[in-house]
């Protein structure tokens, strides 16, 4: 398998966590999101992924886009260990958790959105950072609620699931932009547990071959 990604892409990181938890080997093909205006926007990468976003996963002669779809694909093709365990209700809760991050927080703080704020709306650095923090804090409030009453150490119990694969990169982004997370102790505790997990620890951006 080949993973097209960028060390700091949080959607790419989600997939790295899933690959690591399932013990799957892959070749990393770095796609630099900043260099030359973004290698992902170039004609070459468009041949691989017409959506021009990272990550993309190449497997068995085909290329797949969208991190959550890739994660489900890996779950279907490599079901052990399951990262989407339980019955239909359990699975719906794990998926809803993933989407509370992947559909409600991350899209608003994507690089291309931040660029639009600055270039088209004339936002200064403070306004950009306030936007960034706003959507993380708005978005982590329900995520924290979803973790209340749960024992941990991971989002859905004793083993990591797709939910944890979504949580960790989002917390990393928040910390990178100095967003105050003091209102989200459960989010922070799960994140710490994940980063202490051997397989997940190896997936952090700083340890990737394309890290800067």
How many residues at the interface with a copy of itself, by CB under 8 A? 47
24 binds a copy of itself (CB under 8 A): no
192 binds a copy of itself (CB under 8 A): no
72 binds a copy of itself (CB under 8 A): yes
Distance CA 48, CA 144 (A): 37
40 binds a copy of itself (CB under 8 A): no
Token pair for residue 184?
């989200």
113 binds a copy of itself (CB under 8 A): yes
Distance CA 83, CA 80 (A): 8
50 binds a copy of itself (CB under 8 A): yes
Alpha helices by DSSP H, listed for the chain, are 10-21, 43-48, 67-77, 88-102, 111-119, 125-147, 162-176, 185-195, 198-201
60 binds a copy of itself (CB under 8 A): yes
Distance CA 5, CA 55 (A): 5
**Collapsed DSSP state (helix, strand, coil) of residue 5:** strand
22 binds a copy of itself (CB under 8 A): no
Contact range with a copy of itself by CB under 8 A, out of 33-41, 68-76, 150-158, 194-202: 68-76
In the bound complex, what is the minimum distance in angstroms from residue 52's beta carbon to a copy of itself?
A: 7
Please identify which residue in 68, 165, 179, 200 interacts with a copy of itself, judged by CB under 8 A.
Answer: 68
Q: 181: which DSSP letter?
A: -
Distance CA 9, CA 139 (A): 19
CB-nearer residue toward a copy of itself: 98 or 194? 98
108 binds a copy of itself (CB under 8 A): yes
Contacts of residue 24, defined as CB under 8 A and 6 or more positions apart, other chains included, come to: 1, 74, 78
**Packing angle of the helix pair 125-147, 162-176 (nearest 10 deg):** 150
134 binds a copy of itself (CB under 8 A): yes
65 binds a copy of itself (CB under 8 A): yes
Which residues bind to a copy of itself, rule: CB under 8 A?
50-53, 60, 62, 64-66, 68-70, 72-73, 76-77, 88-89, 91-93, 95-96, 98-100, 102-104, 106-108, 112-113, 116-117, 120-121, 123, 127, 130-131, 134, 138, 142, 145-146
């Amino acid at each position: 398998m080949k993973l097209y990604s960028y060390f700091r892409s949080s959607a790419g990181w989600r997939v790295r966590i899933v690959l690591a938890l399932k013990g799957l080997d892959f070749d990393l093909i770095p796609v630099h999101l900043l260099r030359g205006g973004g290698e992902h926007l170039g004609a070459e990468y468009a041949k691989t992924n017409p959506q021009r976003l990272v990550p993309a996963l190449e497997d068995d002669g085909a290329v797949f886009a969208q991190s959550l779809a890739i994660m489900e694909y890996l779950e279907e093709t490599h079901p052990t260990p399951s990262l989407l365990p339980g019955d239909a209700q359990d699975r719906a809760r794990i998926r809803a958790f993933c989407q509370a991050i992947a559909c409600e927080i991350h899209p608003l703080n994507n690089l291309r959105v931040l660029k639009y704020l600055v270039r088209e709306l004339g936002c200064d650095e403070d306004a950009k950072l306030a936007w960034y923090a706003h959507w993380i804090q708005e978005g982590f409030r329900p995520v924290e609620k979803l973790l209340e009453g749960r024992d941990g150490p991971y989002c859905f119990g004793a083993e990591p699931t797709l939910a944890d694969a979504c949580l960790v990169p989002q917390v990393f982004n928040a910390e990178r932009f100095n967003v105050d997370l003091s209102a989200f102790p459960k989010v922070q505790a799960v994140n710490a547990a994940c980063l202490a997990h051997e397989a997940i620890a190896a997936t952090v951006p700083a340890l990737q071959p394309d890290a800067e």
